[in-house]
Chain A
Amino acid sequence: MMHRLLSGDYPRSAVLSTLVVVIVLALAFAPFLFPGPLAYRTYSSICLFTMLVLSYDILLGYTRIISFAHAMFYGIGAYAMAIALRDIGPNWTAMAVGMTAGLTTALAVAFVIALFSLRVRAVFFALVTLAVAVGFMTLVSKLYTFTGGEDGIAFQVPFVLGPGYTFTESPVPGFDLVGFLGSGDLAGSVFDVRTSGALLVYYVLFVAAIGVFLALLRMMNSPFGRVCQAIRENEFRAEALGYRTVVFRTINVCISAMIAAFAGALAAVSLRYISPDAVLSFDLMVNILLMTVIGGMGTLYGAIVGTTLFVLAETYLQSLLALAHDASAPLPLLAAMLDPERWYLWLGVLFVLSVYFFPRGIVGQLRARARRRAHRRATTDAANPPQNPSETPG
């Protein structure tokens, strides 16, 4: 059962398994463990970004295609959904139309980009996608009658998915985990969870993220995925073995773009408001890149770990910096660098350091450690024949 679900691609590290299980469990019960709108936004965006990062990982990690247009596809999905809901009205038809339009547009754009830029050198694709993504962004802000411009679009979702709807008469009890760990007050940590449409939307996001994860594990452990990895390792040889690498890369780009658009459409439903800053900006693209690399490229598990850490850091690194900022007040320059607003500076430093020292990210590091340990155990224990650790992708 487990083997089929994970397509035989296990975490391969006890620490990583624990981490993934904890994250998935926490997300599964998140609305009942973490109260408040800030927490709701945090765990929703973990699910959304996980989908986005997963779909980016099959490009960057598995096939070594560097794309800077991933945020654009996310934005395409989000804008299609938003425009459909705005113009048709808050009903299910609009959502179906928006989702279909988003996926088809993303597919078409990805196909065109792939067609003229995948034929040439790898760096070309990076540059072309960067230019196209920024061009798309300026187009969206200029065509404001259609897209709402810089102000974005606020719209309504079907009533069942809105915060005004409740499924049950009485609220369901929840248990404030963080509050309990802080105060130790068992009875005081119980809070009411309203079974609103927002809760339903969150669970849609959660199930979608799990589904995307398992589907991509399946895809990357299939013959298709193996060819993609072969292209990553040595494109010339893959071509010489008779695989038409351009076809594989194009398919990969298209699938990845469609998943990004799917995540974008869900994001629109979840946020009920979109703007170029939120779903299209270059900062978002850089964030996707950071999450993928920090988590570990070419592992898919890295997407879960990296995204969770990143989103938590985004929320909590700032409060940590605020403490350091106050402590360093006598030194103005240092204080300015430790300003909570400057958390991105430290993230950049962390990112560069991790590219130097842990190019395989958290997951790669954990797996290497587990392998070393298994190897040591195998060599010290003469009774067991030394087992050959299986090759890790990434």
Chain B
Amino acid sequence: MSETTQGSPARPSWRTRIAAALEARPHYLLLGLVAVIALFVMPLNVWVSLTVAGLAMGLILFVVSSGMTLIFGLMGVLNLAHGAFITVGAYIGASVFLMLAGWPALAAVSQALLIIPAALATLAAAALLGLVFERVFIKPVYDDHLRQILVTVGGAIIIAELIVVFWGAHEIPLPRPDVLRGAFVFGGVAFEKYRLFAVGVGLAVYWGMLAVIQYTRVGLLIRAGVENGEMVQALGYRIKLLFIAVFAAGTALGAFGGVLWGFYEELIHIEMGEHLLVDVIIVIIMGGLGSITGCFYSALVVGLLTNYMGFVAPTFSEFSSIVLMVLVLMWRPQGLIPVVKV
């Protein structure tokens, strides 16, 4: 657990060391705590498969939430239409995938490969949608939280209704490709293939984002913009362009997460984004608004907790993450990893 990860050369008493560890790495502690407590209340093989399921759910949640938290961190815009973008993403991805899968010329191609063009199409379409949304809805109301919230709620209504106009109100089944279906058994524990796939994709997105933010010029500007947007502007960068780019990217990430979630549930429907938005909000509050790393760890915690509670006390599985959020907020009102450190 995290107490041992934080060594100190001066060898202070274990009490101060625990306090220091709590202060420096609250996310490890929380993650460890949730996983270890769960280990005591269920058999080991159940725990392992629930952990994998929880990690998969957590990483999809991360992909979905990271866009929203990034947008908030950089621009201070609380985009409540993010849930609608998740739904749009799932619909676009599913339509492209089902269209390609039904095309006789592509029958020979493995269906799993078709996910790639579907995901790319989703990313492109959602980025475009985000661009338009930023120009039309957000741009007139920068620096006004109340009107941002109102406008994005209105935008969410409009997008949700337009989805019904274009795709209809019925649910669309979205079967996974054969390669990603089923599970393989290892040491008495069944691992679902799609969950492992989701874990891989999620980790790739996380590391990719960290790399962009850490090592590229755009990332440098984003970090600087989160810390002090005016100063970035004063140094001669057009921060408005950065805003547009980040908004488009954040929207695209949300939509991509929607596709992942659609394949996870093998079903897409109008309200999926709205349902997911609650978890997204819990994740970004708990992680610290604007923080990518915080978002990552709190997404994992929420994913794990939801899955463990689903086994222990199904009635409270959804409520448990809210209780956890309340507890975390009482402990650290700014979230696990406060804003400035992206």
Interface residue ranges, A against B (CB under 8 Å): 60, 64, 66, 116-117, 119-120, 122-124, 126-128, 130-132, 134-135, 138-139, 142-143, 282, 286, 289, 293, 333, 336-337, 339, 341-342, 344-345, 347-349, 351-352, 355-356, 359
Contact = CB atoms under 8 A, between A and B. Distances in A.
B318 A345 contact: no
B115 interface: no
A131 B149 contact: no
A127 B78 contact: yes
Contact of B149 (A126, A336, A351): A126
A131 B326 CA distance: 10
A256 to B, nearest CB: 16
B253 interface: no
A130 B78 CA distance: 13
Contacts of A286: 153, 157
A119 B329 CA distance: 11
Nearest to B159: A348
A130 B285 CA distance: 12
Contacts of B322: 131-132, 135
Interface string B105-144: 0000000000000000000000000000000010011000
Given A127-B78, A342-B164, A345-B158, A119 B333 contact: yes
A345 B315 contact: no
Interface residues of B, number: 37
Given A134-B278, A355-B154, A120 B334 contact: yes
Contacts of A138: 318-319
11 contacts: A117-B329, A123-B145, A127-B284, A127-B285, A128-B325, A138-B319, A293-B150, A345-B161, A348-B158, A351-B157, A352-B155
Chain A binding surface, main DSSP class: helix
B199 interface: no
Nearest to B72: A123
B289 A123 contact: yes
A342 B140 CA distance: 26
A341 B153 CA distance: 19
A347 B154 CA distance: 9
B134 to A, nearest CB: 14
B100 interface: no
Of the candidates B147, B150, B165, the one having the most CB atoms from chain A within 10 angstroms of its own CB is: B150
A289 B153 contact: yes
Nearest to B334: A120
Contacts of A348: 154-155, 157-158, 161
B150 A289 contact: yes
B281 interface: yes
Nearest to A120: B333
B157 A345 contact: yes
A297 to B, nearest CB: 8
B235 interface: no
A342 B325 contact: no
B76 to A, nearest CB: 9
B241 interface: no
A356 B150 CA distance: 10
Contacts of B329: 116-117, 120, 128
Contacts of A135: 278, 318-319, 322
B151 A352 contact: yes
B281 A352 contact: no
Given A127-B78, A138-B318, A66 B162 contact: no
Interface string B3-27: 0000000000000000000000000
B78 A356 contact: no
Top 10 A-B pairs ranked by shortest CB distance?
A: A348-B157, A345-B161, A135-B322, A352-B154, A348-B158, A134-B278, A351-B154, A138-B318, A142-B315, A120-B333
Contacts of B157: 286, 344-345, 347-348, 351
Contacts of B185: none
A116 B324 CA distance: 13
B137 A344 contact: no
Contacts of A349: 154, 158
Contacts of A134: 278
Nearest to A117: B329
Given A123-B289, A131-B281, A356-B140, 19 more contacts: A66-B146, A123-B145, A127-B281, A131-B285, A138-B319, A142-B319, A143-B315, A282-B274, A286-B157, A289-B153, A339-B165, A342-B165, A345-B161, A345-B165, A349-B154, A349-B158, A352-B151, A355-B151, A355-B154
